[in-house]
Structure 1
Amino acid sequence: MQKVIQRLNGHLLFSRINHNLPSINTIRLTNTKNDLKEHRARVMARGLPEKKPLPGVKSIILVASGKGGVGKTTTAVNLACAMKVIEPDKEIGLLDADVFGPSVPLMMNITGEPMLNDDNLIEPILNYGVKCMSMGLLVSGENAVVWRGLMVMQALDRLTRHVAWGPLDCLVVDTPPGTGDTHLSLAQNLPIDGALIVTTPQSAALQVTKRGVNMFEKLKVPIIGLVENMSHALCTECGTVNYVFGNETKRTADEMRLEIIESFEVDQNMSECINSGKPAIYALPDSIHAEKYRHLANKVFKYIDDKEKEQVKAT
């Protein structure tokens, strides 16, 4: 048989093999589409981890965006600080879940390697009254994190379950841009109370915002609403409103049946706040941005309160 095969070219060999194979017409599918859906659901149910709350953490709010560079971390940082400002008795935490590009240490002006407590848990670093934790505190600023997915998930587990977060009334989580493993892991492992979606008015940003919304809907994570950054620019001479990046956010929000909770205009002072490590809520307390962040924080507090009341009624 070996000599025969050597004398045949590839075309004849495959023809011979195909000729001897059973006809594909003899194969019959007995399962229906509903059977397939049920099978997939059973497989997914077996693979999903059990959601377990973080000890001492009452509520978890995600801040997410489909696209990078839309001011998501700026929103998360100022939201956490504003929540602490308007409710000083509340304990607020800020988790930087962007393993590859952590920015919270810069914006919150936190440095140094965190300490371990007697329970072998990482103690979050406190600044502006907010408990903070970030991968940027665990690796050198000059080193790039080059990890595969499994290592990222292990790091995320350490940043959540191996940190002494409690007691916390609310943990604000700054997620990486996109719709990747981090979001999936958080949604499958933690009881997420809601997500804020940050976007800008450009068509490219709004397109991926829709994908992010669809992702959270599939993961059954409630969406609190949209936060629009760089919505417009004000002329410093006459105060004219210029929609330099377009004005499509409202139409997109209506299509997705979501509320635009707050819109922030372009302001060069915000860049100075980021670079100095002092959030606008503290650096510019009388500014329109600070006022809007306080309004956003009040909205999130109300959302959490309303959700807690609904849960009490359900029980």
Structure 2
Amino acid sequence: MAPAADLLVGKVLGDDGFGTASQVVDGMEWAVARGADVVNLSLGSDAPSDGTDPMSRALNELSASSGALFVVAAGNAGPAQGTIGSPAAADAALTVGAVGRDDSLADFSSRGPRAGDDAVKPDVTAPGVGIVAARAAGTTMGQVVDPSHVAASGTSMAALHVAGAAALLAQQHPDWTASRLKDALTSTARLIEGQRVTEQGGGCVDVAAASRTPVLATAGLALGTEDAVPLDVDHAGVVVGTDAAGPPDLHGATDRRILLALLVAGVVDKAVATQMGLSRRTVQSRIQRLMELAGATTRMQLAWQAARRGWL
């Protein structure tokens, strides 16, 4: 994927494929300390996570402090919903599901939404079925093709494709941070018809589109539920976080655009809309407008929350 990239190869699991969270965190710290720009984690826990577990928290902190992008396999616990484990559940992780050669979602690919706050995960998908890759000498994983290659399926294989795509972008834009690399890959991914946003995220990664797109949308927003942290709206009508001590005074809002964005975000419900004199048609029209203004990942978040609230 990225032939000019320098590789750092670290082993954090035993020969049996198992290990501890502390081993994984040690490996992440090791990679960051050696200046890795992109870190692939083709591993994860079996149990769903809400993104507050130790591995996920460590990933968030390391990404913020170093600028490294962590590309993480979504997991192979599909087709059940809500099966994203750790550290794939981390906010800062670029979480990758798997698709076949025809872009159909792999049955085994773990699905969102994320446990706890219903955030959209995975962030993107990539080819992960029947992938032929380099074989480590003496190993037996997958189907041996020849002494140097093996074929395997899994979100681990999909994550490798996205890590390579991220490395290409990092080479093209050495000043880009982890969040900007993630934004680029998520915002330019191809949405696949018939797949839910909590199954594909922004869609199948398209590195060619990402490399030629100068304007990017914010990726990976977790809009949450009625009990979520306070939300606000930026100038384009996209829901973002706020430092306010409490929820906004909805009844005092003079800008209905803000109120309607909050409705989409799931902060208020239909009862409040009725109280504010907003018809269903008005709300639906504004939701559509917000989705047109928003970037790919924010748009899928809005659609998911709007559907949850019964607006779509």
TM-score for the superposition, normalised by structure 1 = 0.33
Structure 2 length-normalised TM: 0.33
Larger relative contact order (Cα-Cα within 8 Å, sequence gap ≥ 6): 1
More helix by share: 1
Radius of gyration: which is bigger? 1
